[in-house]
C-alpha cells in the first residue's frame, strides 16, 4: 500500500471542512482493504461526528452485512491521531477498537494534551497495528491553525493588505481609495469564509465603513472584530448590522446587545496585540485575518505576532500616501491575480 497516497486523500477530504470545524482540526479518514477504498469520511462541522465515524458509516452504507468482516481486514488512514477522550463526540480510537480494524496509519500525533499519544496507545493495546508520522510536515502545515492554537495559546494570525506599485498603503487624509482589483476582492472574500474572524481598527471602521462579510463568495461570515478604545465608531456603520457577530474591544464597557459583544480591556495602549491574541484564544477563535489599518498591522508585526502575510501589489502608483507595512518573512508564493501581484509571506521566527 502507498501510505502517502491515502494520507493525501485524507487531506483532500479534510479540506472540505474548512471554515466549519474550528476550533477542531480538519480531519479526513480513508478505510482501505486490499488496496481498495471501501469507505471515506471527514469532519464536516464542529459538534458533529468526526471523520472516523463518518468513514465507518460510509462502509456500512456501502457494504451492509459485509461491512463488519471487511473492517476487520481494513487499514484506516487518518491525517491526525484518532481522539481518545469524550468531548462533543465519543472517542474515535474506541470506534476502531470496537470494529477490530487491522491497522491504522496516521499523519500527525495530536498535540492536544487530552489526546497526544493516548489514541495511539489505545489502538496498540487493543492489538491494532499503528504507523504514524506519514507526511508529518505536510499534515502539520495543513492544520497549522489548530497546531498554533494548541501549542502557542493564540490564534493563527494572517496579516492582509494591498499596496501600490511604489509602496503606498492608504491615503494621507484617511479617505478610502481602492488599490487592488475585483479578483483580489473576491479572493479576499473567499478567505473570510475559511477563517474564524477578521479584525480592523477604529479608523478603518469609520473611514471605510466596511461590511467585513463574505458576500462575494459562498460560505459563512467571519466574526467581526473592531478595536475602538473609546467607542467612537457610529452605531449606523455596517459593522453594527445583523449579518455577523461583532466584537468591540474597548476601555468603556463589557456588554452584549444582540449580536454586538463589547469586551472591556485595560490599558489598551500597552501590548495591545498580545492582549487581543490571548483574548481570542480564550474565546476559541482559532484564526484571524488582520486587515488594519497600518497602525494595527504594525503592532502585530512589531510584536512578531503573525504567521502569514497576504499582500496584493497593484500595477498603479500614487504620488503620495501612507507607506505600507514592512514585512520580513519567507516569501512562499508569488502569483498574478488579475492585474495585481499576490504574495504570501511566512513567519518562521515566532
Is residue 99 a known part of a binding site? no
C-alpha cell at 151: 501549542
Q: Which entry of 4, 40, 52, 319 is annotated as an active-site residue? A: 52
**Is residue 92 a contact partner of residue 82, using CB atoms and an 8 Å limit?**
yes
Q: Can you give the length of the chain in residues?
A: 350
Q: Do the annotations mark residue 215 as ligand-binding? A: yes
Residue 208 known to bind ligand: yes
Flag whether 50 is marked binding. yes
CA 157, CA 154: separation in Å to the nearest integer?
8
228 is in an annotated binding site: no
Return d(Cα 242, Cα 258) in angstroms, integer.
8
Annotated catalytic residue 251: no
CA atoms in the 13 A half-sphere facing the CB of 287: 25
Q: Is 248 left (phi over 0), alpha (psi -120 to 50) or beta?
A: beta
| 11 annotated as belonging to a binding site for a ligand | no
User: Is 192 labeled as ligand-binding?
Assistant: yes
Measure the CA–CA gap between 141 and 14, rounded to whole angstroms. 13
Say if residue 162 carries a ligand binding annotation.
Answer: yes
Give me the residue label for grid cell 452485512: 65
Q: Does the annotation place 178 within a ligand binding site?
A: yes
Residue 103 CB: number of other CB atoms within 10 A? 17
Catalytic residue positions, numbered: 52
Residues annotated within the binding site for substrate are 192, 212, 215, 291
Residues annotated within the binding site are 50, 83, 92, 162, 178, 192, 204, 208, 212, 215, 291
Residues annotated within the binding site for Zn(2+) are 50, 83, 92
Amino acid at each position: 500500500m502507498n501510505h502517502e497516497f491515502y494520507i493525501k486523500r485524507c487531506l483532500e477530504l479534510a479540506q472540505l471542512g474548512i471554515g466549519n470545524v474550528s476550533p477542531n482540526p480538519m480531519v479526513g479518514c480513508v478505510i482501505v482493504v486490499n488496496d481498495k477504498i471501501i469507505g471515506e469520511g471527514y469532519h464536516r462541522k464542529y459538534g458533529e461526528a468526526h471523520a472516523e465515524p463518518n468513514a465507518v458509516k460510509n462502509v456500512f452504507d456501502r457494504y451492509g452485512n459485509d461491512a463488519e468482516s471487511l473492517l476487520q481486514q481494513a487499514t484506516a488512514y487518518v491525517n491526525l491521531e484518532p481522539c481518545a477522550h469524550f468531548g462533543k463526540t465519543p472517542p474515535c480510537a474506541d470506534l476502531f477498537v470496537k470494529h477490530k480494524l487491522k491497522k491504522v496509519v496516521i499523519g500527525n500525533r495530536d498535540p492536544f494534551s487530552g489526546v497526544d499519544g493516548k489514541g495511539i496507545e489505545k489502538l496498540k493495546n487493543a492489538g491494532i497495528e499503528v504507523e504514524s508520522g506519514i507526511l508529518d510536515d505536510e499534515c502539520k502545515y495543513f492544520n497549522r491553525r489548530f497546531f498554533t492554537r494548541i501549542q502557542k495559546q493564540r490564534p493563527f494570525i494572517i496579516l492582509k493588505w494591498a499596496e501600490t506599485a511604489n509602496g503606498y498603503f492608504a491615503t494621507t487624509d484617511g479617505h478610502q481609495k481602492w488599490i487592488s482589483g475585483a479578483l483580489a476582492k473576491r479572493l479576499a472574500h473567499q478567505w473570510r469564509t475559511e477563517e474564524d474572524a477578521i479584525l480592523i481598527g477604529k479608523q478603518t471602521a469609520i473611514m471605510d465603513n466596511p461590511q467585513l462579510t463574505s458576500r462575494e463568495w459562498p460560505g459563512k461570515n467571519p466574526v467581526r472584530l473592531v478595536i475602538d478604545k473609546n467607542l467612537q465608531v457610529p452605531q449606523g456603520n455596517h459593522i453594527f448590522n445583523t449579518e455577523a457577530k461583532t466584537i468591540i474591544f474597548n476601555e468603556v464597557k463589557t456588554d452584549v446587545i444582540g449580536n454586538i459583544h463589547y469586551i472591556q480591556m485595560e490599558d489598551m495602549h500597552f501590548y495591545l496585540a498580545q492582549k487581543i491574541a490571548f483574548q481570542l484564544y480564550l474565546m476559541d477563535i482559532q484564526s484571524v485575518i488582520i486587515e488594519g489599518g497600518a497602525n494595527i498591522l504594525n503592532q502585530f508585526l512589531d510584536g512578531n505576532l503573525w504567521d502569514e502575510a497576504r499582500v496584493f501589489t497593484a500595477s498603479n502608483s500614487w504620488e503620495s500616501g501612507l507607506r505600507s507595512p514592512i514585512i520580513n518573512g519567507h516569501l512562499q508564493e508569488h502569483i498574478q491575480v488579475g492585474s495585481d501581484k499576490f504574495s504570501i509571506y511566512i513567519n518562521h521566527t515566532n
